[in-house]
Amino acid sequence: MNDQIQETKNFLQELSERLYIYISSVSPPGLDWIFHIIVKLFLLCAIFLVIDFVFKFVINYIFRFFHNENKYPVIRSIYQSKITNSLAHFAALAIVGTMHSSIFPITALPKTTIFIIRCVNLGLVLILAGMLYRSLTAFRNYFVIKQDFYKIMALNAISETVKILGIFIFSLVGICVIFGIKGTTIVGSLGAITAVLVLVFRDTILGFVTGIHVATSKSLKVGDWVSIPKYSIEGNIADISLLTTKINNFDKTISTIPTYDLLTTEIKNLQVMSESNTRRIKKSIYFNINSFKFLTEEEIERLKEINLISDYLQGKSDELKKEKENIEHSDKIINGRQLTNIGVFRYYAQKYIENDPDIDQEGAMMVRQLDITPQGLPLEIYCFTNDSRWAHFEQIQADIFDHLLVASKEFDLQVMQVSVKV
């Protein structure tokens, strides 16, 4: 066996010497090294392609037996990311690099030998860089199979950072390989430009930290319905990358914000409402305080004809009459507790939303007074619809306020509005 290998090496060396003599004889004077490089590269590339094809065929054939991604998620992730092709490239180029000295005599035109060796080493560096990026893709494919979207988001932040740093590092290594520079020379000078690198990659660093935070806190993910008051944005998250986050707005536009804003800006995640098929109504009607008054017995009798509050008014009337029996000057309406038009209307609005079939009866429901403003007293309606679809939600909300705005006239309430003089 050893004799056969030695005979093969002797044959290759004899063939390469004859090839060297032939190329030197047909090349123009002074340009023979160029022709030697061209011929060497051509032969080595041909050998590389043959070996690479064989390796890829064997590796891919083996991986095809593990086609079930649910049973073999790791192997399928590796195969889908084409790491196997990078392995085949690396092995083939490494073999070609070791075969170079056996095929071509090193003593003949040593400069071409150095050039070829550097080309092989540069190719190995590029293949390693591609293998690193494909490894990140393999991790992503694995989490896609597992449907773990929060880890996908964290991996996106990590992979983008690794890619940027990888480009920087592999560029330095490539320069060292091409020009034969020692790596310690370049690494030693990095301390002087550290501050510049931090300034240049500021957004990258912030985006990386934000991606890790969002993924670990599980507060946001791609597909979530969010609202960002700072930018007046409301829509679904389409993509979270290292530097930017894309949001598909409901008006069919796309907004892009810096990813680090997810950490520093108020963001409302409305996805829970969408998943529960409910959506909040939180809206106020402003009433003129000058229209507020105590209700007389005649007005109470008139309002008893409203079905939603008839029992309430009857019970309150009886209760207040008993209280006034023991109060001096009971003929004065201000003495003792009294019913007011704004208070009765507030109760009516409460009963109205409680009886609305489009309102979620298990959610919070209230009609409350807010702080008085120069525009009047806000009466806020707070409840949840049982349909989160935007168009239906707006229809339900409009129906409620259409009714309450008109019904307020029955209670002699005046809704505040700006008067315009013509």
178-206 residue pLDDT tens: 666 665 655 555 555 555 566 666 666 66
Whether residues 78 and 10 fall in one domain = yes
Residue 242 inside a domain? The answer is yes
Q: Is the pTM of this model over 0.75?
A: no
Residue 36 inside a domain? The answer is yes
Q: Which residue has the tokens 């020009």?
A: 179
- Sheet strands (E) in 221-373: 225-228, 233-240, 244-249, 254-258, 268-269, 279-287, 366-369
Burial grade of 344 (CB within 10 A; 0-12, 13-18, 19 or more): buried
* Cα separation, 178 vs 117, whole angstroms: 10
Judged against a pLDDT cut of 50, whether residue 419 lies above it is answered with no
More confident residue, 113 or 257: 257
Candidates 179, 197, 177; CA nearest to 189 is 197
Whether residues 384 and 251 fall in one domain = no
Whether residues 286 and 269 fall in one domain = no
* Cα separation, 79 vs 72, whole angstroms: 11
More confident residue, 292 or 84: 292
Please answer whether residues 413 and 291 qualify as being in contact, where contact means their C-beta atoms are separated by less than 8 angstroms: yes
DSSP 32-62: HHHHHHHHHHHHHHHHHHHHHHHHHHHHHHH
Residue 171 inside a domain? The answer is no
The tens digit of pLDDT for each residue in 266-296 reads 788 877 776 677 888 999 999 999 999 998 8
* Cα separation, 84 vs 302, whole angstroms: 85
Whether residues 130 and 242 fall in one domain = no
Residue 25 inside a domain? The answer is yes
What per-residue confidence (pLDDT) applies to 363?
A: 85
Residue 157 inside a domain? The answer is no
More confident residue, 233 or 83: 233
* Cα separation, 169 vs 150, whole angstroms: 28
Judged against a pLDDT cut of 80, whether residue 257 lies above it is answered with yes
Whether residues 254 and 314 fall in one domain = no
Whether residues 231 and 296 fall in one domain = no
Judged against a pLDDT cut of 90, whether residue 347 lies above it is answered with yes
* Cα separation, 422 vs 192, whole angstroms: 72
What per-residue confidence (pLDDT) applies to 69?
A: 62
Alpha helices in 147-252 (DSSP H): 149-179, 183-189, 194-200, 202-217
Domain boundary among 248, 276, 304: 276
Long-range contacts of residues 348-354, Cβ cutoff 8 Å, at least 24 apart = 348/306, 348/308, 348/309, 348/407, 348/411, 349/379, 349/381, 349/404, 351/308, 351/309, 351/312, 352/308, 352/400, 352/403, 352/404, 352/407, 353/381, 353/383, 353/400
Whether residues 258 and 303 fall in one domain = no
Q: What is the CATH number of the domain that holds 251?
A: 2.30.30.60
Judged against a pLDDT cut of 80, whether residue 21 lies above it is answered with no
Fill in the amino acid letter for 266: E
What per-residue confidence (pLDDT) applies to 421?
A: 44
CB atoms within 10 A of CB 103: 17
Whether residues 266 and 312 fall in one domain = no
Please answer whether residues 400 and 353 qualify as being in contact, where contact means their C-beta atoms are separated by less than 8 angstroms: yes
User: What is the DSSP code (8-state) at residue 265?
Assistant: S
Residue 31 lies in domain: 2-147
What percentage of the chain has pLDDT greater than the value 70? Answer: 66
Using pLDDT thresholds of 50, 70 and 90, give the confidence band for residue 350: very high
Please answer whether residues 203 and 243 qualify as being in contact, where contact means their C-beta atoms are separated by less than 8 angstroms: yes
Please answer whether residues 139 and 148 qualify as being in contact, where contact means their C-beta atoms are separated by less than 8 angstroms: no
Residue 156 inside a domain? The answer is no
Using pLDDT thresholds of 50, 70 and 90, give the confidence band for residue 396: very high
HSE-CB of 115 using CA atoms within 13 angstroms: 14
What percentage of the chain has pLDDT greater than the value 90? Answer: 20
More confident residue, 54 or 105: 54
What per-residue confidence (pLDDT) applies to 331?
A: 67
What per-residue confidence (pLDDT) applies to 129?
A: 79
Mean pLDDT, the chain, integer: 76
Residue 418 inside a domain? The answer is no
Residue 274: both structure tokens together: 């969408």
The mean-pLDDT minimum among 62-71, 100-109, 334-343, 358-367 falls in 100-109
Residue 72: both structure tokens together: 């073999």
The mean-pLDDT minimum among 126-140, 167-181, 401-415 falls in 167-181
Whether residues 79 and 142 fall in one domain = yes
* Cα separation, 39 vs 27, whole angstroms: 12
More confident residue, 219 or 369: 369
Domain boundary among 235, 250, 276: 276
What per-residue confidence (pLDDT) applies to 296?
A: 87
What per-residue confidence (pLDDT) applies to 49?
A: 83
What per-residue confidence (pLDDT) applies to 160?
A: 65
Residue 252: both structure tokens together: 């069919």
What per-residue confidence (pLDDT) applies to 309?
A: 92
Q: How confident is the model over 397-407, as a mean pLDDT?
A: 94
Helix (H, G, I), strand (E, B) or coil at 337: coil
Number of domains in the chain: 3
Whether residues 258 and 143 fall in one domain = no
What per-residue confidence (pLDDT) applies to 117?
A: 75
Using pLDDT thresholds of 50, 70 and 90, give the confidence band for residue 404: very high
Whether residues 333 and 235 fall in one domain = no
Residue 214: both structure tokens together: 């969002």
Whether residues 221 and 310 fall in one domain = no
More confident residue, 323 or 186: 323
Residue 417 inside a domain? The answer is no
Domain boundary among 96, 117, 147: 147
